Chains A and B, each alone.
Chain A
Amino acid sequence: MKDLVNAVAEMMEDDAKNLTQKYLDQGAPPMEIFEAYKEALAIVGKRFEEGIYFVPELILAGEMMKTASEMMKDLMVGEKASDSNRLGKFLLGTGEGDIHDIGKDMVAMLMDMNGFEVRDLGVDVPAQRFSDAAKEFQPDIVGLSGLLTLSFESMKQVVDALKEIGMRDKVKVIIGGGQVDEHACKYVEADAWVTDAVAGVKYAVNWMEK
């Protein structure tokens, strides 16, 4: 399915859709098609990191993948739909006092495309809601997004809340946003920090594959 991988990686929306249909008509297993999309996505992510692709390419890749999932939906019952096939669970939100959602939404999309079951709590989320959701959802990774330096404080509160319910050692915590750095990561007591969504996905996938 090299042609499909190429079509997606080169942003050929129509070709990608037609090729997906062609393979489905030929009886190719949906999981195989899904793998081709994932391969393409890795190329897109790499090009983003290299400064060849930008945010619109990430979003278009996401849309192509969504279209394909729609086409395969009925065929994939029992395959992708069962959460046991999922790579892991990812709980996500922007901390209290911050309403920025571009980065967070991109992370949600990319995590989903990379096989995570994602629960997105939205923006301006108090620590209590994070810990309630963590108890119920039992995530492997908690992602905290925030553009404002003020949101470091609310990120820290989330980590404290996770400690309180005894879950801090059971999850990885990753923080992301334009202003985060090593210093913020230490202050928040997170496990990793990133300034773009693609880098965040890399960490998450690595953690799950260990």
Chain B
Amino acid sequence: MIVIGEKINGTRKPVAKAIQERDAAFIRDLARRQFENGASYLDINAGTLPKREPEDMAWLVEHIQESVPDAILCLDSANPVALKAGIEKAAKTPMLNSLSGEKFRIDGVLPLACEFKTELIILALDDKGIPRTSEGRLAIVRNLIEMTRAGGLPDEKLFVDPLVMAISTGTGNGNISLETCRMIHEEFPRVHLTCGLSNISFGMPLRSVLNQAFIVLTIQAGMDSVIVNPEERELRAIMMAAETVLGMDRHCMNFNRAFRAGKIGPKATA
């Protein structure tokens, strides 16, 4: 699984404070901890007002890549100016989060992705909102992939998010996302599938258990990436276990190596 660490997000209060006060040590530490816990991509969302956002994005990129030079940065904004500022500062080609069928993202984000040949997250929604059916979501994605192909982006660079909605507000919501995954995986076998996992459990007790159950099912439906808090140790083990039992882990070596390294399973007592 390709793990995209979600924690550097200005809509979270401690991060907002660190951005405001230019607390580089806090941001660097957050980046390093996520990377060490398996997040090869780090989402960066400044979450600030449009006027300040480009400057904040550039500052975040600068410090995060110094802290973890091997991580790939995932610039998370709807503001093309902020994305551009981040791209220009980034030493390695970043991922952009995100394109959708919304006109302002097609106008603002798509040209940047094509120009800089970035990896790109694609959301299955448009100006009318999130379709209630998997067919509706697939239609939006199909339309967008036509555009990225026309712009010269290979499918391998795309991470499609089928969108996960809360099971608490509609008991069909899990199945709609899973069905969308299966349909996209079948029609576009080379694109990646990703999602913000924790949405599934909004408004529910025992959220982490629900998240774990759902991630297993999404992996079977073709999901190969996830946007999560990488420091959730149990989630990491569940994801690896799912891949292993689905035959995606050659000779089970990934699982067993992770076990021997103490990355999954009971924590070694010091």
Give the interface segment out of A16-24, A54-62, A125-133: A54-62
Chain A interface extent, by class: 10 to 19
Question: Which A residue's beta carbon lies closest to that of B12?
Answer: A179
A149 with B16: in contact, given A54-B168, A55-B169 (CB under 8 Å)? yes
**In the assembly, what is the distance between CA of A179 and CA of B14, in Å?**
12
The contact of A149 among B47, B129, B130, by CB within 8 Å, is B47
User: CB distance A59 to B47 under 8 Å?
Assistant: no
CB neighbours of B50 from chain A (8 A): 150
A55 with B129: in contact, given A149-B47, A150-B49 (CB under 8 Å)? no
CB neighbours of B125 from chain A (8 A): 99
The contact of A55 among B13, B49, B168, by CB within 8 Å, is B168
Question: Which B residue's beta carbon lies closest to that of A123?
Answer: B129
User: What's the nearest-Cβ distance from chain B to residue A162, in Å?
Assistant: 21
A179 with B11: in contact, given A54-B168, A102-B166 (CB under 8 Å)? yes
Within 8 A of A (CB), among B197-218: 202-205
B10 at the interface (CB under 8 A from A): yes
Chain B interface extent, by class: 10 to 19
Chain A interface mostly:
loop
Within 8 A of B (CB), among A149-187: 149-150, 153, 179, 181
A56 with B16: in contact, given A102-B169, A149-B10, A153-B49 (CB under 8 Å)? no
CB neighbours of A181 from chain B (8 A): 13
User: CB distance B204 to A54 under 8 Å?
Assistant: yes
Within 8 A of A (CB), among B33-84: 47-50
**In the assembly, what is the distance between CA of A113 and CA of B168, in Å?**
19
A148 at the interface (CB under 8 A from B): yes
User: CB distance A56 to B47 under 8 Å?
Assistant: no
Question: Which A residue's beta carbon lies closest to that of B171?
Answer: A56
User: What's the nearest-Cβ distance from chain A to residue B92, in Å?
Assistant: 28
A149 with B11: in contact, given A55-B204, A102-B202, A123-B129 (CB under 8 Å)? yes
Encode contact with A along B155-197: 1 for CB under 8 Å, 0 otherwise: 0000000000010110000000000000000000000000000
CB neighbours of A149 from chain B (8 A): 10-11, 16, 47-48
Question: Which A residue's beta carbon lies closest to that of B204?
Answer: A54
Encode contact with B along A15-55: 1 for CB under 8 Å, 0 otherwise: 00000000000000000000000000000000000010011
Question: Which B residue's beta carbon lies closest to that of A106?
Answer: B169
Interface centre among B16, B50, B203 (most CB of A within 10 A): B203
Question: Which A residue's beta carbon lies closest to that of B206?
Answer: A54
Question: Which B residue's beta carbon lies closest to that of A97?
Answer: B78
User: What's the nearest-Cβ distance from chain A to residue B10, in Å?
Assistant: 7
A-B contact pairs, 22 of them (CB 8 A): A51-B205, A54-B168, A54-B203, A55-B166, A55-B168, A55-B169, A55-B202, A55-B203, A56-B168, A56-B203, A99-B125, A99-B129, A102-B166, A102-B169, A102-B202, A102-B203, A106-B169, A148-B11, A149-B16, A149-B47, A150-B49, A150-B50
Which residues of B are at the interface with A, using a C-beta cutoff of 8 A?
A: 10-11, 13, 16, 47-50, 125, 129-130, 166, 168-169, 202-205
Besides the known contacts A99-B125, A148-B11, 15 further A-B residue pairs in the complex with CB atoms under 8 A apart = A51-B205, A54-B168, A59-B169, A99-B129, A99-B130, A102-B166, A102-B203, A105-B169, A106-B169, A148-B47, A149-B10, A149-B16, A150-B49, A150-B50, A153-B49
The 8 closest A-B pairs by CB, nearest first: A55-B203, A55-B168, A56-B168, A149-B47, A149-B11, A54-B204, A179-B11, A54-B203
